[in-house]
Chains A and B, each alone.
Chain A
């Protein structure tokens, strides 16, 4: 079974983002960029399936500016076999990404697509579900455990009250939650090897997709800031304040 894993280049999760003064967005120039953490988990899961002999090949896909090739290289260093970069300067939103991925799935025919459940920049949490819809495939979102049994994927999902397990007939879509696995660090020899692995470069037009955004971003602002309050000296004072000043207990 071939696996397809989309990976997104995002502002590194350790960076404190700054909103541009003109309200046009978040400052990304000169900021450290990395692979979306949920996508690292997706790559790791794919590599583990290959190590268990359940997958034959892992294709990492990224979309956006030319620098997204670096994100693909990271995936290749972690164990993906080859990459596909869909290069565009257009701001890609989940609907466009899902359509581009559908076109790639139709060419590559993977048995499963594993995606991060959300990207930590736009926090949309949508692409996996949308790709599943466009392909007419079943979906197992927010996965904390994945077991393949014959033509079924058993996906244990993180839901509001606990966990839920669904059985999906392959081919299927899985999106990763945090506890699915702990991604490995790429070793130096594997980073060197990754340089020789192939990356195909395509344009949205090659895939017959119009990637224009459907949502216009009118403004990006800082959220209202909370004022730090006061320190209390004792538990007794805390309880007194909560009862008589804040009146919440």
Chain B
């Protein structure tokens, strides 16, 4: 009963959600990992250092350079016979490729698993996290995406796995990468940050998000936003925290000018400590906040920045 985990990686190594997927896999059996991309020697070595990983399969080829679903799925199907479970983190990439793999294997995928009960049984949120379903798979093989916030990531170091090359798999290239426009930020990624500070419609404009930047710099926080702020055009969609955006569970989540729609709560309610700053004391966000401050954010945020400076 060996488990194969597809790892998300970048120039910095193995991404944190992928390390959470390895943690989930370790509850199921011995773990092999797949690192696919182009010029990925460093990422493969980083994968070999993950505790609990027994083997790294390295697929280093131009076809895998942009993690397109079509070639990656074909490769996973070729590797599948050796494994009982195929896992990936429920990132944009994992969500793109794993259902494709599942269909090719005639398996119903199990998306966004937040807990492992046993080898066949898993817990996953439905209805934007308003209910938790315990589901049991009748398929011989399981294809799973893992909600990273449900599993503490394995450390980045501690293992020493062997690295082996992947078989080569050909497919007709009917999908082609054209370009990417990635947000440039010195800040930690939303899904990996220890602290997240998010703004909502109450921020009133994109420019006002600089008020959050000052605080984020001081707390080494990632900056997020509610869907309302994204829909209003204040910030790009990759800032979005919520059911339709990113799911985060940092040590500290600060919600500023966010009313607390169900769709937003679904993305952050597993945070360890939640702070809400909102001028409407009836805002639903206060029902989940550990600390609530009823205040005008345009007064509170500069004060917050200067108090943090004093406290540091």
Contact = CB atoms under 8 A, between A and B. Distances in A.
Contact of A139 (B66, B96, B138, B289): B96
Given A26-B127, A95-B102, A125 B273 contact: no
10 contacts: A26-B127, A94-B99, A124-B109, A129-B100, A130-B100, A159-B93, A168-B176, A178-B244, A231-B292, A242-B291
Contacts of A140: 175
Interface stretch (B20-28, B157-165, B299-307): B299-307
A31 B236 CA distance: 34
Query: Among the interface residues A172, A221, A242, which one has the most CB atoms of the partner chain B within 10 A?
Result: A242
A162 B238 contact: yes
Interface of B: 66, 68-70, 73, 91-93, 95-104, 106-112, 121, 124-139, 174-183, 189, 191, 195, 219, 227, 230-231, 236-238, 243-244, 246, 251-252, 262, 269, 272-275, 281, 286-295, 300, 303-304, 307-308, 310-311
A235 B128 contact: no
A208 interface: no
B128 A123 contact: yes
B291 A179 contact: no
Contacts of B138: 214-216
A231 B294 contact: yes
Nearest to A102: B103
A246 B273 contact: yes
A11 interface: yes
Interface string A157-181: 1111111111111001000011100
A215 B136 contact: yes
Nearest to B138: A214
Contacts of A154: 178
Contact of B104 (A126, A133, A234): A133
B180 A229 contact: no
Size bracket, chain A contacts: 35 or more
Given A124-B109, A231-B293, A246-B273, A164 B180 contact: yes
Given A159-B180, A249-B252, 10 more contacts: A132-B100, A133-B104, A157-B92, A161-B189, A165-B179, A220-B126, A229-B291, A235-B307, A242-B252, A248-B252
A137 B172 CA distance: 10
B290 A246 contact: yes
B311 A123 contact: no
A55 interface: no
Contacts of A122: 126
Contacts of A166: 68, 175-178
Contacts of B132: 220-223
A150 to B, nearest CB: 14
Nearest to B289: A229
A198 interface: no
Interface of A: 11, 16-17, 19, 26, 93-95, 98, 120-134, 137-142, 144, 154, 157-169, 172, 177-179, 213-223, 226, 228-232, 234-236, 238-243, 246, 248-249
Nearest to B106: A95
A235 B300 contact: yes
B134 A235 contact: no
A228 B178 contact: no
Nearest 8 Cβ contacts at the A-B interface? A229-B290, A130-B103, A214-B108, A133-B103, A126-B99, A138-B175, A129-B99, A162-B182
B291 A162 contact: no
Contact of B96 (A141, A179, A219, A239): A141
A238 B108 contact: no
A120 B292 CA distance: 30
Contacts of A137: 174
B238 A94 contact: no
Contacts of A220: 126, 131-134
Contacts of A231: 281, 286, 291-294
Given A215-B137, A228-B289, A248-B273, A123 B237 contact: no
A138 B289 CA distance: 44
Contact of B237 (A139, A144, A214): A144
